[in-house]
């Protein structure tokens, strides 16, 4: 389908993936007048708010042709959409613009390729690491790398596919437990905190970064995100500059998240990339002039990228299915009215039919005139929902 950029409102946009990130993207697209076509197998949150749903897996070539014939551009909301799928959509005279491109996603989907790119191509510091592709590689690991985390190079997220190891013998056991698939060993560093930067690049090469987020995880899943991060301005500027350098070196189009480690010596290293909007950027809906999801729409349609200036401070609390279960493990609807009675509390539920423990069901963004005020209010929300008190 022949199209011209910028795509006019009323155009159809393709979305690979149907989760909550896609739902918020589709809502932003609709606000700007675009219609989203979701490609995802089965019922999904994004399809509930989109006019069209192609019920198929990402590798279904007939479904990809159907999508290609309808839309002017395609994006993703799931980090493990095959890079080859994006390449197929972009190929040929009838190819569509994909934001991001398959070549960019391929690097972000392989932790070893990602670390090599960040360090050698983008020139951004990363943790000491080593490839572990065989049992022999385990025996050859340098003792200075321990303690460490052994991670599968592909498919791991939310803490999956990772094992803490203290020695080469531990690494061998962990390598076997992970199925002997290609892995990367990363040295554990002396962390002060974890932060992230959402960055976007438009069709014209324009780059915009959002304020730095400060992130806290429980059981490998993001639990709390604070915007702006409680770090000094020099460190924040460094993180945003690194993110801009990475997205340009990657020749990436669309929205990208870079996760960083802030070390106790007040230096910063890149951890990993997510080739999509990110959970830590949820608060940009309320916190910034332009949200990460609107930015995603702008980047893929050829519109000018939006203003990322913050308009308030926020604390975002992730809501997992656990909050639906009482002390007797019985399902009980959370007290949403009590949450919404708290000043500054903005509730986002994802429309998932079944609440399961550890399943991402929604989030609450709590706004304030300062981080301190937002945090005080967030503690009230946490108390209502039975969540650990954010600090």
Q: pLDDT tens digits, residue range 172-182?
A: 999 999 999 99
Phi, psi dihedrals of residue 45, rounded to the nearest 5°:
-60, -40
Q: pLDDT tens digits, residue range 143-154?
A: 999 999 999 998
Query: Which residues are registered as beta bridge partners of 319?
Result: 362
Rounded average pLDDT over 351-368:
96
Helices (H), 45-101: 45-48, 61-68, 83-90
**Do the bridges between strand 254-263 and strand 221-227 make them parallel or antiparallel, or are there none, so unpaired?**
unpaired
Domains of the chain with bracketed CATH = 12-98 (3.40.50.20), 128-187 (3.30.1490.20), 191-385 (3.30.470.20)
**Closest among 162, 144, 292 to 217, alpha carbons compared:** 162
- pLDDT-derived band at 2, boundaries 50, 70, 90: confident
* Residues whose CB falls within 8 Å of the CB of residue 25, separated by 6 or more in sequence, listed in order: 15, 36, 46, 75, 77, 277, 293, 296, 297
* pLDDT higher than threshold 90 for residue 135: yes
- pLDDT-derived band at 161, boundaries 50, 70, 90: confident
Output the pLDDT for position 156.
65
Output the pLDDT for position 158.
59
């Amino acid at each position: 389908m022949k199209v011209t950029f910028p795509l006019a409102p009323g155009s159809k946009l393709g979305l690979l993936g149907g989760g909550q990130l896609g739902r918020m993207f589709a809502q932003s697209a609709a606000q700007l007048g675009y219609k989203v076509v979701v490609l995802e197998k089965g019922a999904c949150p994004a399809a509930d708010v989109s006019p069209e749903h192609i019920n198929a897996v990402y590798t279904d070539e007939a479904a990809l042709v159907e999508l290609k014939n309808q839309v002017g551009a395609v994006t993703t909301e799931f980090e493990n959409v095959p890079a080859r799928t994006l390449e197929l959509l972009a190929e040929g005279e009838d190819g569509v613009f994909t934001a991001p491109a398959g070549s960019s996603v391929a690097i972000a989907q392989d932790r070893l390729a990602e670390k090599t790119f960040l360090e050698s191509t983008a020139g951004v510091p990363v943790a000491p690491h080593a490839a572990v592709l065989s049992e022999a590689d385990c025996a050859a690991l340098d003792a200075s790398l321990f303690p460490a985390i052994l991670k599968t190079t592909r498919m791991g997220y939310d803490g999956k596919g990772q094992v803490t190891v203290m020695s080469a013998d531990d690494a061998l056991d962990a390598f076997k437990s992970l199925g002997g698939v290609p892995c990367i060993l990363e040295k554990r560093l002396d962390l002060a905190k974890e932060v992230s930067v959402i960055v976007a690049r438009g069709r014209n090469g324009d780059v915009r970064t959002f304020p730095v987020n400060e992130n806290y995880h429980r059981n490998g899943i993001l639990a709390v995100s604070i915007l702006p991060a409680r770090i000094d301005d020099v460190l924040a500027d460094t993180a945003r500059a690194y993110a801009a350098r990475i997205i340009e070196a990657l020749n990436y189009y669309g929205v990208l998240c870079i996760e960083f480690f802030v070390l106790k010596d007040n230096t910063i290293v890149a951890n990993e990339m997510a080739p999509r909007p990110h959970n830590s950027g949820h608060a940009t809906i309320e916190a910034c002039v332009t949200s990460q999801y609107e930015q995603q729409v702008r980047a893929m349609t050829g519109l000018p990228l939006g203003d990322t200036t913050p308009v308030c401070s926020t604390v975002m609390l992730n809501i997992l299915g656990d909050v639906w279960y009482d002390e007797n493990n019985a399902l009980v609807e959370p007290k949403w009215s009590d949450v919404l009675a708290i000043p500054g509390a903005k509730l986002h539920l994802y429309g998932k039919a079944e609440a399961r423990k550890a399943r991402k069901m929604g989030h609450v963004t709590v706004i304030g005139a300062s981080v301190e005020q937002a945090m005080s209010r967030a503690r009230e929300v946490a108390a209502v929902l039975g969540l650990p008190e954010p600090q």
